[in-house]
Amino acid sequence: MLWATSPACTELETHVLDWLVELLGLPEAFRSEGPGGGVIQDSASSAALCALLAARDRASGWETNRTGLAGSPPLVGYTSTQAHSSLEKAAMIAGLGRDGLRLVEVDGAFAMRPDRLEAAIAADRAAGRIPCFVAATVGTTSSTAIDPVRAIGEIARREGLWLHVDAAMGGTAAICPELRHLQDGLELADSYCFNPHKWMFTNFDCDAFWVADRAALVRTLSVLPEYLRNRATESGAVIDYRDWQVPLGRRFRALKLWMVLRWYGAEGIRHHVRRHVALAREVARRVQASDRFELAAPVPLNLVCFRHRAGDAFNERLLERLNGSGDLFLTHTRLADRHTLRLAIGQTWTEARHVERAWGRIEEEAARLEAER
């Protein structure tokens, strides 16, 4: 719970998160030697909540931290219609309410439209509300859409909003230098998170969360009762991660992350990530080459969103049949208000032959269903 109760636990966490800054090419501001730093949270939902709480308190001049929301003009935040539901949950918990999080329209590739963000901020200011937070997503849940972080960050800087970047799954890709352009503009972010438990071969749970200015986060979440006072904390020379998260006590998640990094090594992780992206692109190529299927979204990473051309009911039936067979497991979403199938590739032991077999089963089952119509 404190540096003093387990210095090794704290120090390893700081060390591993500094390693990741280097490994993923993240902004220098996220390093613990400067004003920022990283912490491991249980999930991307918790990271978003902590970011929003800090954003809220900073925007109110720390008044909401002292007196709560009563009496303050309504605070509002922004994210895209494609953002994960955890952002909405964070808005509810932070007291902004569901309506206090504006869902900004996306473009044809399901990425947030900066012009619509600007318009929404202007409308809120005109109505006397206080915009305090914007969350961009690098790899949305439904389709791995990539929000334009730089354009959103420039608006956030100009307007004084806290920018949080949620790269829960997509963030792992930054270990490959050729994929880092997907999060160009990250130096404009106040906070950033990704989940090693999603695509970095780490057992659940493990979310890596960084802030550019740890003072804002600590000021938001710190409470110091007598029974937690100790000399190390008072020296100001150590990190007490209890002030960087909601719970007091915490698990030693850094150990498994350290183990993963040591076991695979940077090249090992890169090897798997590149393989997964290449396999997903191969599936996308097959979808495009097929007469019966169509791609439902671009494929920047390891998720292929596609659908049969025969419509929603057919796709629902196809998904049910494929998953019921036990041969493979696909998930679904709605994109452009149409039922969409999702094939994600992200595990250590998934090989080309598995993906080929999966695609073969999809084609086979689709042909069978077509014949039954």
Ligand X SMILES: Cc1ncc(COP(=O)(O)O)c(C=O)c1O
Footprint on this chain of ligand X (rule: CB under 6 A): 43-45, 84, 86, 137, 140-141, 166, 168-169, 195, 207
Q: Of 59 and 169, which CB lies nearer to ligand X in the complex structure?
A: 169
CB burial readout 303-339, b (16+ within 10 A) else e = bbbbbbebeeebbebbbeebeeeeebebebbebeeeb
User: Least distance in Å: CB of 117 to ligand X?
Assistant: 18
Tell me the three state secondary structure of residue 313.
helix
Residue from 324, 43, 330, 3 nearest 168 by CA: 43
User: Least distance in Å: CB of 133 to ligand X?
Assistant: 15
Task: Judge whether 311 and 323 are in contact, CB under 8 Å.
Answer: no
Residue from 280, 13, 59 nearest 169 by CA: 280
Q: Of 26 and 165, which CB lies nearer to ligand X in the complex structure?
A: 165
Q: Of 346 and 365, which CB lies nearer to ligand X in the complex structure?
A: 346
Q: Of 141 and 220, which CB lies nearer to ligand X in the complex structure?
A: 141
User: Least distance in Å: CB of 297 to ligand X?
Assistant: 14
Task: Judge whether 168 and 139 are in contact, CB under 8 Å.
Answer: yes
User: Least distance in Å: CB of 230 to ligand X?
Assistant: 31
User: Least distance in Å: CB of 60 to ligand X?
Assistant: 26
Task: Judge whether 32 and 239 are in contact, CB under 8 Å.
Answer: yes
User: Least distance in Å: CB of 83 to ligand X?
Assistant: 7
Cα of first residue to Cα of last residue in the chain, in angstroms, is 61
Tell me the three state secondary structure of residue 166.
strand
CA dihedral 150, 151, 155, 156 (to 10 degrees): -30
Q: Of 31 and 164, which CB lies nearer to ligand X in the complex structure?
A: 164
Q: Of 117 and 366, which CB lies nearer to ligand X in the complex structure?
A: 117
Helical spans, DSSP H, in the chain: 7-24, 44-59, 63-67, 85-93, 114-126, 149-159, 196-199, 214-221, 231-235, 253-289, 312-325, 352-372
Rg value, the chain, Cα: 22
Q: Of 60 and 137, which CB lies nearer to ligand X in the complex structure?
A: 137
Q: Of 53 and 366, which CB lies nearer to ligand X in the complex structure?
A: 53
User: Least distance in Å: CB of 138 to ligand X?
Assistant: 8
> Tokens 């269903």 — which residue?
369
Residue type, 34: G
Helix (H) / strand (E) element for 336: namely: none
User: Least distance in Å: CB of 44 to ligand X?
Assistant: 4
Task: Judge whether 242 and 74 are in contact, CB under 8 Å.
Answer: no
User: Least distance in Å: CB of 129 to ligand X?
Assistant: 25
Q: Of 77 and 366, which CB lies nearer to ligand X in the complex structure?
A: 77
| CA dist., res. 109 & res. 81, Å (int) | 12
